[in-house]
Amino acid sequence: MTDKKKKKPTSFDVARLANVHRSAVSRALSGSGRVSEDTRKRVIQAAQELGYRVNFLARGLQNQNSGLVGLVASRLDTPYRASQVKVAARELLAKGYCPILIVAEGDVTLSGLIDRLLNYSVSGMIVTSDSPPAEIIEECKRLSVPVVLINRDLREVAADRVQLDIQASGQLAFDMLREAGGRRFAVLDPSQETFTVTGRARAFATCCHSAGMPAEVITPVGQNYADGLEAADLFMAAKCEADAVFCSTDLLALGFLDGMRVKYGRRLPEDIQILGYDDIEQAGWLGNNLSTICQDAGAAAMLAVDLLQARIEDGSRPFECATIPITPVHRATTRKITT
């Protein structure tokens, strides 16, 4: 006969059953504090029997720290972000934290949501959003809530961060396209600016310029598939003659790719070469086979979680900035390099 509608057992009940004091129960179950092997066993046993579970709200209230971690992410339905969030959540969970997911759509609402997060005495926050207002980050610092920023602007307040090397990204893109025989370059640089996306597009353009081969700039609105499609129209309308285009995002690249080959009958890489960025799963699909630059979403997420944990454990350590590794991925939308 299991206790149906009984109230949840408290540490007090466990204590009574195990014939010890509540504090002994706490010590035995929270791991901290010394307890005799005997008591520990009796407590565990009693807890088991009663189906007791520690109330984390009470514990958090006492410790001023809930074990909850805010995970702020925009564009969650995007392949890159989805896998990043997945890994971050998994790692957080593995380390004993509980991720509260805040999905951002338009900054308007976001600050209210993060505000709510702060009410829970979160132990920390990982921000992977494109653009959470800086004031919010400030607010966190004020409340001394550790924050780890993924790919956010450098000028931000002091905080641990994980980001990719923007200059190196633009350079790598240029090198890949150049080595594949590109002569006339173009780049897709969304008008909705984003720190890393805009950054690498500009860096690429700069490299082209420095090499004496200025790139034409196509400006779709956003950085999604549909925008890539739009970019193809823009490209044609402008009678752009580039033979090698760097799309600052895989989604953009895939849209542009489809536009060029399906809508405008271009062959790849013969008529035009396309290079993406991110290496999302779809880039590797047989029908796309997109050459790209891989920035490992999972690695970035894990770095972020590690940094956060380190800071939670030692709030006074110096701020760190981890770099996301990038690697070239040669597939079928760029020519084979003749060695």
Segment contacting DNA by CB under 7 A, of 7-15, 122-130, 138-146, 220-228: 7-15
Is residue 32 within the footprint of DNA (CB under 7 A)?
yes
Residue tagged 């005997």 (tokens):
38
Residue 254 tokens, joined: 């895939």
Rule CB under 7 A: choose which of 20, 71, 218, 283 binds DNA: 20
Is residue 200 within the footprint of DNA (CB under 7 A)?
no
- The answer to whether 231 touches 202, Cβ cutoff 8 Å, is no
The angle at the Cα of 98, spanning 92 to 103, to the nearest 5 degrees, equals 90
Between CA 161 and CA 153 the distance in angstroms is 10
x/- map, 52-91, DNA, by CB under 7 A: xxxx--xx-xxxx---------------------------
Looking only at the bridges linking them, the beta strands covering 326-329 and 292-295 are antiparallel
3-state secondary structure 88-104: HHHHHHHCCCEEEEEEE
Is residue 83 within the footprint of its own copies (CB under 8 A)?
yes
3-state DSSP call for residue 16? Answer: helix
Query: What is the enclosing helix (H) or strand (E) of 37?
Result: helix 37-50
Least gap, CB of 4 to DNA (angstroms): 17
Residues of this chain that bind DNA (CB under 7 A)? 7-8, 10-12, 19-27, 29-30, 32-36, 38-39, 52-55, 58-59, 61-64
Residues of this chain that bind its own copies (CB under 8 A)? 2, 5, 8, 51, 53-58, 60-61, 66, 68, 71, 76-79, 82-83, 85-86, 89-90, 93, 98-103, 105, 113, 115-121, 142-144, 225, 229, 254-255, 257-259, 261-263, 281-282, 285-288
